[in-house]
A and B are shown apart, each in its own frame.
Chain A
């Protein structure tokens, strides 16, 4: 197992190097001189030239890339051009908000998608199966920015049930930076309720596409597994049908589902930019869009680099989980 993880980590290195190079080159390709932007238009030419030397911008590109790698390796991605704060600190401060949102969205996707997929597969060709399939196909076609607005219209404006915008209305002591765990730990039930109601709409909007994908995947792999000999054997020797479905079939059918969960995190991170913007959620997705509007290149670079590394690590975790579930993969 250790060698398996080690090998997977080694395989990540060239991709990581490629990704960092692409991000580095892309941010350099954005029109505009960072030194000039940092100092403003009225700065003297000497001052701009001096800052260019300080920032290493007078060096050849390859040297600049090596310097960038050296700093990035210790988490130094420069300072935000807008706020002057270190990019890493700013992003770390916003990370819990995005993590709470994406994890809840994923939880919603799994809690709805897996049972729906199992029911559709067990009752194949039934009306329930057809309805589930149509809902799943509609779900993967859903413009989530629209879904978010429609949810807001229904649950905030028309029914007045859920708050629209922000993460919490009452004070919650920050321990992890995530509202729900923090309010649970401090037994702050007003905070817990406020956190849940604020989280509901963005998490559902963000989780709908993964929910649909998980439903489809679970259904098709359940169908495949249910035709296996050992399932027939299990039925034949008199195992209770529910037990066959959940213990014998679902466990094996989960393998492809686990794989798509990793890929769905990439979609969740893209979706977070949209959802956080609509619901004024103070996370990384929100600052990503802001920094594009403000041309804060250091911040964009940080968001993309950390986002991609996070995505790669999630996929690594999925690979490892897969190997745990299916020992054949290790060889």
Chain B
């Protein structure tokens, strides 16, 4: 009895305990730091909510996002039948936004996956091999970084042709260098550590060292960077669609919804203000949430960074 009281109220729990407890403790710290961050929890909740909406879109959407047109209801404001009003072709904005979650978030995730996989491979190769491999790869990354990002994405879309797939490819390519840099510096910082030396001494090959020692220890910065990149990717893909270079007309993609409302004439500014308001609000909400989560992850992974 006395022992428990001492452990609970005195010295910090976990000191001098066996390694298994310590690892759990570290994950506990991470979880506590992340869950203690209100903005991060808010962001995560919104992301989960969006994921569910994307999954159950056909059940949730009251109308068909493309076919249910009603020209008499052009820019009709919010009502009981159409909670968020109707767009320039009288389509239900809520239904289009619900289906749009699928498109925008999938496209964003796909772009980030491209940037992450390619960027991590480049960063790993550069950081692990060093010497001329490092020099060549990182100079190549410098060249990509030298372009203003949207300008580069625009040129890539011009080459590949307009469309959502090409837009997300372009955005993915543009963010490869950031990923490569993050992974490379993480790899360099663990490359010479004792546990890597130990593995090498035990006769592990390059593949094993990379997969068992280097990769796991580069994970934290990679996850943070990937999350923050998801936010800009969603934003950039919506921007490309808004410029008419990404998703095209009937597709209920959020950026494309804004542009088709905007290009339907000046009337949208007078009667159709809700057709401008809601799609942008959803884009902003999703991007803000992802940024909150990214910030929360960064702070939780790095205890020295106090808010």
Contacts and interface: CB of A to CB of B under 8 A. Distances in A.
Contacts of A321: none
A269 B280 contact: no
A26 B147 CA distance: 13
A329 B150 CA distance: 30
B175 interface: no
A184 interface: no
A143 B146 contact: no
A143 B257 CA distance: 13
Interface string B264-307: 00000110010011011001100110111001000000000000
B223 to A, nearest CB: 19
Interface in A184-215: none
A18 B139 CA distance: 9
A243 to B, nearest CB: 27
Contacts of B75: none
A242 interface: no
Nearest to B306: A223
B151 A308 contact: yes
Secondary structure dominating the interface of B: helix
Contacts of A304: 147, 151-152, 155
A271 interface: yes
B84 interface: no
B148 A266 contact: yes
Consensus secondary structure, chain A interface: helix
A270 B151 contact: yes
Interface in A1-38: 14-15, 18-19, 22-23, 26, 29-31
- Tell me which of A134, A150, A266, A269 has the highest count of chain B C-beta atoms within 10 A of its own C-beta: A266
Contact of A153 (B147, B273, B284, B287): B273
A261 interface: no
Contacts of B273: 153, 157
A264 B223 CA distance: 24
Contact of A269 (B148, B245, B262): B148
Given A15-B143, A18-B143, A137-B288, A30 B158 contact: yes
B151 A267 contact: no
A311 B146 contact: yes
Contact of A146 (B151, B152, B279): B279
30 contacts: A15-B139, A22-B144, A30-B159, A137-B288, A138-B284, A141-B290, A142-B284, A143-B235, A143-B280, A143-B284, A143-B287, A145-B239, A146-B283, A146-B284, A149-B262, A150-B277, A152-B269, A157-B270, A267-B148, A267-B149, A270-B148, A270-B150, A270-B151, A274-B150, A274-B239, A288-B151, A288-B154, A289-B243, A304-B151, A308-B146
Interface of B: 39, 139-140, 142-144, 146-152, 154-156, 158-159, 161, 231, 235, 238-239, 242-245, 255, 258-259, 262, 269-270, 273, 276-277, 279-280, 283-284, 287-288, 290-292, 295
